[in-house]
Structure 1
Amino acid sequence: MDIDRYLGPGHRMTALVTSHGLAVADAAVRLAELERFHARKEDLAGQLTGRWGDPHHVGLQTVRLRTGTEEIPEPWAELSLRVADVYLWRTEEPGRWVALGVADLDPCDEIQLLLVVTDTDPP
């Protein structure tokens, strides 16, 4: 599933890279490709760090768990269901966040390198 979604006022989610055929691939093939996606994430994170400084490394498991009992604002609710953790920068533009992560939580779906830009503070 390729995405470039406007998720509502003040946020957008884009798949920078999407695997093809991994939803039905052998587990070893998927794992090797997952490692490549994480390497791409690290490369891009280095470039973004040069622009905005060191990122926060944020695990999304607690956000994912909280979606069952409370309303989590977008894009954080959807992101937490797809990505285990993100690099997170606050940009020079007041109130704007950039998150970068690898969507790999659903083994029946393709792997994606996701970039999210939002005005919504992380929960």
Structure 2
Amino acid sequence: MDIDSYLAGTGHRTAALATSHGLVAADAAVRLAETERFHEEKEDLAGRLTERWGQPYHLGLQTVRLRTAAEEIPEPWAELSLRVGDVYLWRAEEHARWVVLGVADLDPSDEIQLLLVVTDTDPP
């Protein structure tokens, strides 16, 4: 898996492990099929991460997304909530970090991405 892009901020790093190409203008059925493929890749990778850090937490980000209108949500959680519906997260105690895995597929005017985030900021 090649890392397509990489973003960093104070206390967090986000890597796009895979990015679709050309789906912004694609037919809805094509986009749906590709979205399903990205979610399958997420599940495969989650299995490997589970071997390392145990069973993940499953966190839906809709309430976080709604809360961004009324309160300040720390990064990377605010940005993730706008792009990703739900994530798996593991606590990597040996590094005092959260490892977060999700598919950014909420914005039909953007490409789909498989995101891996490492952060020292607790989930909101």
Structures share fold, TM-score greater than 0.5: yes
Q: Shorter-chain TM-score category?
A: over 0.9
Q: Is the contact between residue 95 and residue 121 of structure 1 (CA under 8 Å) also seen in structure 2?
A: no
Corresponding residue number in structure 2 for 1:36:
37
Structure 1 residues 55-88: Cα deviation after superposition (integer angstroms, max 9, x where no partner):
0000000000000000000000000000000001
Between the two proteins, what is the percent identity of the paired residues?
Answer: 78
Q: TM-score under structure 1 normalisation?
A: 0.95
Report how many aligned residue pairs link the two structures.
Answer: 121
Counterparts of 1:95 and 1:61, CA distance in 2: 26
Corresponding residue number in structure 2 for 1:5:
7
State the secondary structure of the residue aligned to 1:73.
Answer: coil
State the secondary structure of the residue aligned to 2:121.
Answer: coil
State the secondary structure of the residue aligned to 1:28.
Answer: helix
Alpha-carbon shift at residue 29 of structure 1 (Å) = 0.3
Q: Is the contact between residue 95 and residue 119 of structure 1 (CA under 8 Å) also seen in structure 2?
A: yes
List alignment gaps of at least 5 residues for structure 2: none
Corresponding residue number in structure 2 for 1:50:
51
Aligned Cα RMSD in Å? 0.9
Q: Which amino acid aligns with 1:113?
A: L
State the secondary structure of the residue aligned to 2:109.
Answer: coil
Alpha-carbon shift at residue 93 of structure 1 (Å) = 2.2
Structure 1 residues 4-47: Cα deviation after superposition (integer angstroms, max 9, x where no partner):
0012x210011000000001100000001111000000000000
List alignment gaps of at least 5 residues for structure 1: none
Counterparts of 2:120 and 2:94, CA distance in 1: 10
Runs of 4+ with deviation above 6 angstroms: none
Q: Which amino acid aligns with 1:78?
A: E
Counterparts of 1:74 and 1:84, CA distance in 2: 16
Corresponding residue number in structure 2 for 1:73:
74
Alpha-carbon shift at residue 94 of structure 1 (Å) = 4.9
